[in-house]
Structure 1
């Protein structure tokens, strides 16, 4: 029974999971949830994902939600395929967890706020951009990226010299920053080198424009 991924094709969190499935070459079936009819708020859906969000997976009856948790599950279950993505050596694992925490604590929120105001709101007709919110998010993000620049001047990836899930966690929202119309990358060469590396992975290219069903490996 093939693993099933439930979500919206363009959802940032759904693409986060789909990329890891591609990276690990895990066949999967994508089950598109109908956003227009609020299928993700239906009783049947809430039995699987009680917060009414996407995505969740069904791996032969095992249900799991939250994209970062799902990514960890995939990387662990199929650890022998491709790059490890989660180190096993104690200090390397600690550096991975540190990098994952950096993404969650310092990158995710300002990036989301900037992208939401300039990209998501106009696309979904959710009203005009709140320029004050956008400018504050951008200011915070630039401060954080200055620290990324220092970190990435010393290591190839955020958690060391081997790629991990923590690097990939940045992609869904980070890839949308250029669409805000503000260039915050090119003035930071180490960050730019790293971001170009992870955005040109075949696994990201396979999902960056949306998720589809059943890749063939």
Structure 2
């Protein structure tokens, strides 16, 4: 049975992360488009599989996994022997990977999400933007990226010298923010700039942005 990927058809947020892993790992899948504007994600049938009624979700021959980072880890480990290695196997390298993934989740992602919610999502709903909150979030993120600059001065990627999920996870909201005029990666140090240009120009990501998510069977 081909893996079923429940997602919106465009590569953004968590759906984009999972789609990129599917492409990087060369995993055949069937795209099941979830039309959230019609409430597809809140039907009893969908809630029975994903109790929070969100996307993305996968059905791997009856085995259900939701939450994008959990799905990415599952796919990277199940298909470890094909495509791009995304999780190291040695204990020291895996520890460095987990450290980097924790940094993204606890340090980078909350601030990017705050910027997105305070700017893009409020603007789309014609809600007043708290400019002070937005400015502070951007300042805080810049300070975190200053630390990234130091880390990336000694290694190519956030978890070491190989591209991993820890780098890939940074693509959840940041590209969308940049498209909306909030280039939080601009005017950073040379190491952060090099790293960001590297991960955001990977062929898998560029293809997904240009073509959207399509089934590969």
TM range (shorter): over 0.9
Counterpart mapping for 1:10-21 below 5 A: 10=10, 11-21=12-22
**The 10-residue stretch of structure 1 (28-37 or 182-191) with the greater mean CA deviation from structure 2:** 182-191
CA contact (8 A) 1:115 1:180 kept: no
Confirm or deny that 1:2 pairs with 2:2: yes
Counterpart mapping for 1:1-217 below 5 A: 1-10=1-10, 11-123=12-124, 125-178=125-178, 179-182=180-183, 184-208=185-209, 211-215=212-216
**The 10-residue stretch of structure 1 (28-37 or 125-134) with the greater mean CA deviation from structure 2:** 125-134
Equivalent-residue separation in structure 1 for 2:184 and 2:15 (angstroms): 26
Aligned residues: 215
CA contact (8 A) 2:112 2:173 kept: yes
Equivalent-residue separation in structure 1 for 2:50 and 2:110 (angstroms): 22
1:208/1:190 Cα in 2 relative to 1: closer, same or farther (>3 Å)? same
Gaps of 5+ in 1: none
CA contact (8 A) 1:16 1:171 kept: yes
> How much has 1:182 moved relative to structure 2?
4.3
Gaps of 5+ in 2: none
Equivalent-residue separation in structure 1 for 2:111 and 2:25 (angstroms): 29
- TM-score, normalised to structure 2's length? 0.92
**The 10-residue stretch of structure 1 (176-185 or 27-36) with the greater mean CA deviation from structure 2:** 176-185
CA RMSD, 1 decimal: 1.7
Q: Deviations for 1:110-154, whole angstroms, at most 9, x for unmatched residues?
A: 00111222223323x252322222112111111111111111011
> How much has 1:85 moved relative to structure 2?
0.8
